[in-house]
Structure 1
Amino acid sequence: MILLRNTCRSAAADSAVAMMPTPAPIAIRPHALMGNDCDYNRYPLSDCVDCISFSRSGSQEHFSCREIGSMISDLGVPVADNIVQCATGPYDDVIYVGQEFDNVKVFRDELCKYAFLKGFKYRFIKNEHTRLTAKCADDSCPWRIHASQSSRKKTFVIKKMNPSHTCRLGYSKDRRATTQWLASIIKDKLRESPHLRPKDIVADLFRDYGISLNYHQAWRGKEIAQKELFTLHEEACNQLPWYCERIIETNPGSIAMLAASADSKFRRVFVSFYASLNGFERGCRPLIFLDKVPLKTNLQWKLLAAAAVDADDGIFPVAFAAVEAETYDSWFWFLVQLKYAVPASRPITFVSYRQKGLEEVVLQVFEGSFHSYCLNQLMEDFQAELKKGMWSDKTRDAMTDDFKNAAYACSVEDFNAHVESIRGVSKEVADWVIESKPEHWSNALFKGQRYDHYSPQIVKSFSLWIPVKHESSVVLIIDAIRDKLMEVMQARREASSSWEETLTPTMEEKLKKEIPKAAHYVVCSSDTLFEVRWNTVNVVNIGTWECTCRRWQLTGLPCTHAMTVFDRLGKNMYDYCSRYFTADMYRLTYAEQIHSIPDVEKMNSIFTSSYPPRTSRPPDRPRRKRVNPNKTTIRALRCSRCKAVGHNKATCEAFL
Structure 2
Amino acid sequence: MDPSNTIYCYLHIGGELVRDEHGNVEYMGGRRDGLSLEQSMTYNDFVSRICEKMNINIVGPTFSYTLPFDLYALQPLKNDEDLTNMFQFSDRCARVYICLASTVEDDEMIENGGQWLIETNPRTIAEYRCSDDGHFMQLLVALSVSIHGFQMGCRLIISIDSSHMSRPYKGALFSASSYDADDDMFPLAYGLFSFENYEDWLWFLEKLKMVIGERDVIITSDRHQGIIRSVSEVFSSENHAHCYRHIKENFSSFLSKLNTKGRKGKENALQMLDSIAYASSMKVSNGKAFLEVDLMERTCTCKAWQMSGIPCDHACAAIRRMGFDVSDYVNDWYKYNLQEKIYFGSMCTLVTHDMPMIDEDGTVCDALGYTYPFLNPPTTKLPPGRPRKRQIESQFM
TM-score (norm 1): 0.37
Partner of 2:252: 383
In structure 1, C-alpha distance between the alignment counterparts of 2:287 and 2:203, rounded to whole Å: 52
Change (3 A) 1:584 1:265: same
Which among 598, 603, 618 is matched to residue 351 of structure 2? 598
Change (3 A) 1:390 1:577: closer
Residue pairs, 1:104-115, within 5 angstroms: none
In structure 2, C-alpha distance between the alignment counterparts of 1:588 and 1:266, rounded to whole Å: 36
In structure 1, C-alpha distance between the alignment counterparts of 2:129 and 2:203, rounded to whole Å: 9
Task: Tell whether the 8 Å contact from 1:233 to 1:265 is kept in structure 2 after alignment.
Answer: no
Partner of 1:403: 273
Residue pairs, 1:67-146, within 5 angstroms: none
Secondary structure at 2:181's aligned position in 1? coil
Secondary structure at 2:311's aligned position in 1? coil
Which among 131, 143, 154 is matched to residue 273 of structure 1? 143
TM-superposed CA distance for 1:379, in Å, is: 1.9
TM-superposed CA distance for 1:538, in Å, is: 3.0
Partner of 1:559: 312
Q: Deviations over 1:92-149 (max 9, x none)?
A: xxxxxxxxxxxxxxxxxxxxxxxxxxxxxxxxxxxxxxxxxxxxxxxxxxxxxxxxxx
Partner of 1:464: none
TM-superposed CA distance for 1:235, in Å, is: 2.5
Are 2:293 and 1:540 equivalent residues in the alignment? yes
Task: Tell whether the 8 Å contact from 1:326 to 1:356 is kept in structure 2 after alignment.
Answer: no
Task: Tell whether the 8 Å contact from 1:279 to 1:591 is kept in structure 2 after alignment.
Answer: yes
In structure 2, C-alpha distance between the alignment counterparts of 1:300 and 1:290, rounded to whole Å: 20
Secondary structure at 1:387's aligned position in 2? helix
Partner of 2:209: 339
Residue pairs, 1:256-271, within 5 angstroms: 256-271=126-141
Are 2:231 and 1:362 equivalent residues in the alignment? yes
Q: Deviations over 1:391-441 (max 9, x none)?
A: 321223222322332222389xx8xxxxxxxxxxxxxxxxxxxxxxxxxxx
Change (3 A) 1:391 1:590: closer
Task: Tell whether the 8 Å contact from 1:288 to 1:348 is kept in structure 2 after alignment.
Answer: yes
Structure with greater helix share of residues: 1
Partner of 1:194: none
TM-superposed CA distance for 1:298, in Å, is: 5.7
TM-superposed CA distance for 1:288, in Å, is: 0.5
Change (3 A) 1:374 1:329: same
Are 2:97 and 1:235 equivalent residues in the alignment? no
TM-superposed CA distance for 1:368, in Å, is: 6.5
In structure 1, C-alpha distance between the alignment counterparts of 2:359 and 2:298, rounded to whole Å: 62
In structure 1, C-alpha distance between the alignment counterparts of 2:110 and 2:295, rounded to whole Å: 53
TM-superposed CA distance for 1:589, in Å, is: 1.2
Task: Tell whether the 8 Å contact from 1:276 to 1:318 is kept in structure 2 after alignment.
Answer: yes
Amino acid at match of 1:308: S
Task: Tell whether the 8 Å contact from 2:278 to 2:304 is kept in structure 1 after alignment.
Answer: no
Task: Tell whether the 8 Å contact from 2:164 to 2:170 is kept in structure 1 after alignment.
Answer: no
Partner of 2:85: none
TM-superposed CA distance for 1:282, in Å, is: 2.2
Task: Tell whether the 8 Å contact from 1:321 to 1:334 is kept in structure 2 after alignment.
Answer: yes
Task: Tell whether the 8 Å contact from 1:290 to 1:351 is kept in structure 2 after alignment.
Answer: yes
- Structure 2 stretches lacking a partner, 5+ long: 1-52, 57-96, 364-397
In structure 1, C-alpha distance between the alignment counterparts of 2:299 and 2:340, rounded to whole Å: 28
In structure 1, C-alpha distance between the alignment counterparts of 2:257 and 2:126, rounded to whole Å: 48
Partner of 1:436: none
Amino acid at match of 1:329: E
In structure 2, C-alpha distance between the alignment counterparts of 1:373 and 1:546, rounded to whole Å: 21
In structure 2, C-alpha distance between the alignment counterparts of 1:333 and 1:309, rounded to whole Å: 23
In structure 2, C-alpha distance between the alignment counterparts of 1:309 and 1:275, rounded to whole Å: 15
Amino acid at match of 1:264: G
Q: Deviations over 1:450-498 (max 9, x none)?
A: xxxxxxxxxxxxxxxxxxxxxxxxxxxxxxxxxxxxxxxxxxxxxxxxx
Task: Tell whether the 8 Å contact from 1:348 to 1:369 is kept in structure 2 after alignment.
Answer: no
- Structure 1 stretches lacking a partner, 5+ long: 1-177, 182-223, 415-516, 521-531, 615-656
Partner of 1:290: 160
Task: Tell whether the 8 Å contact from 2:231 to 2:237 is kept in structure 1 after alignment.
Answer: no
Q: Deviations over 1:76-99 (max 9, x none)?
A: xxxxxxxxxxxxxxxxxxxxxxxx
TM-superposed CA distance for 1:179, in Å, is: 8.8
- Matched residues, number: 270
Comparing 256-265 with 383-392, greater Cα deviation is found at 383-392
Change (3 A) 1:290 1:298: farther
Task: Tell whether the 8 Å contact from 1:311 to 1:586 is kept in structure 2 after alignment.
Answer: yes
In structure 2, C-alpha distance between the alignment counterparts of 1:609 and 1:311, rounded to whole Å: 50
TM-superposed CA distance for 1:567, in Å, is: 2.5
Are 2:333 and 1:583 equivalent residues in the alignment? no
Task: Tell whether the 8 Å contact from 2:202 to 2:234 is kept in structure 1 after alignment.
Answer: yes
Task: Tell whether the 8 Å contact from 2:181 to 2:333 is kept in structure 1 after alignment.
Answer: yes
In structure 2, C-alpha distance between the alignment counterparts of 1:547 and 1:367, rounded to whole Å: 25
Are 2:303 and 1:303 equivalent residues in the alignment? no
In structure 2, C-alpha distance between the alignment counterparts of 1:369 and 1:280, rounded to whole Å: 22
Task: Tell whether the 8 Å contact from 2:279 to 2:302 is kept in structure 1 after alignment.
Answer: no
Higher Cα Rg, which structure: 1
Are 2:193 and 1:323 equivalent residues in the alignment? yes
TM-superposed CA distance for 1:578, in Å, is: 1.0
Task: Tell whether the 8 Å contact from 1:261 to 1:267 is kept in structure 2 after alignment.
Answer: yes
TM-superposed CA distance for 1:390, in Å, is: 5.0
TM-superposed CA distance for 1:535, in Å, is: 5.8
Task: Tell whether the 8 Å contact from 1:288 to 1:306 is kept in structure 2 after alignment.
Answer: yes
Change (3 A) 1:307 1:533: same
Amino acid at match of 1:365: V
Q: Deviations over 1:302-352 (max 9, x none)?
A: 2111111101012211111111222222212111111122211x3211111
Partner of 1:607: 357
Change (3 A) 1:291 1:575: same
TM-superposed CA distance for 1:295, in Å, is: 4.8
Amino acid at match of 1:582: K
In structure 1, C-alpha distance between the alignment counterparts of 2:300 and 2:242, rounded to whole Å: 25
Partner of 1:136: none
Secondary structure at 1:538's aligned position in 2? coil
In structure 2, C-alpha distance between the alignment counterparts of 1:403 and 1:572, rounded to whole Å: 33
Are 2:322 and 1:572 equivalent residues in the alignment? no
Task: Tell whether the 8 Å contact from 2:125 to 2:211 is kept in structure 1 after alignment.
Answer: yes
Secondary structure at 2:140's aligned position in 1? strand
Amino acid at match of 2:289: T
Change (3 A) 1:179 1:386: closer
Change (3 A) 1:391 1:576: closer
